[in-house]
Amino acid sequence: MWSPLSSTLITGERDAILVGTTITYDQVDRLADWVERFGKQVAGVVITHGHSDHRIGLARLQERFPHARGLATRDVLARARFGATDEGMRAYWRGLFPGEIPRSRCCRNCSTGTRSISTATSCA
C-alpha cells in the first residue's frame, strides 16, 4: 500500500509537461496511456522534490517518451542523486516494490533549468 499519487499534465499544441510521475511499471504505463489519449508527447517531467517516489518512474516513462527530460532545481537533483546512489535507499525501494521498479538509469536528460545534466544515476 502506498499513499495516493497524482500527476498534472500541462499541454501545448503537440507536447506536454508532466508535474510528477508515479512509481511502479504498471502505474507509469497507465500514466503514459493517459497522456497518449490526449495525443501528446511528454517533453519534460517536473520533479518537485528529491524523494525517490517522485522520480523513480522517470526511467520507465522515458521508455515510452524517449525525448522526455527530467526538470528539477539543483537542490532537488542533488537529493534525487543521493536517493539513486545510496545503497541503503536503493535497497529500501527495491524491498517495497520488488520487481516493480526500474533498475535502469534515471535522471538521464535531466536539466536544472540552466544546463543539461548528462550524468545518469541509477533508479533502484
Can you give the pTM of this predicted structure?
A: 0.81
CB contact set of 32 (below 8 Å; sequence gap of 6+): 42, 61, 64, 65
Amino acid letter, 32: A
- Which domain range does residue 17 map to? 8-118
Residue 58: inside a domain: yes
The dihedral of CA 100, 119, 45, 29: what is its sign?
negative
- The tens digit of pLDDT for each residue in 37-63 reads 999 999 999 998 888 888 889 989 999
Grid cell, residue 56, equals 523513480
Query: Containing H/E element for 30?
Result: helix 25-37
In CATH, what number is assigned to the domain containing residue 102?
A: 3.60.15.10
Q: What is the pLDDT of residues 3-45, one digit of tens each?
A: 788 899 999 999 999 999 999 999 999 999 999 999 999 999 9
- Asked if residue 21 lies in contact with residue 110, where contact means CB atoms within 8 angstroms, the answer is no
Looking at residue 27, its pLDDT comes to 93
Note whether residue 2 is domain-resident. Answer: no
Q: Into how many domains does the chain fold?
A: 1
Residue 3 lies in a domain: no
According to DSSP, the β-strands at 69-71 and 41-46 are parallel
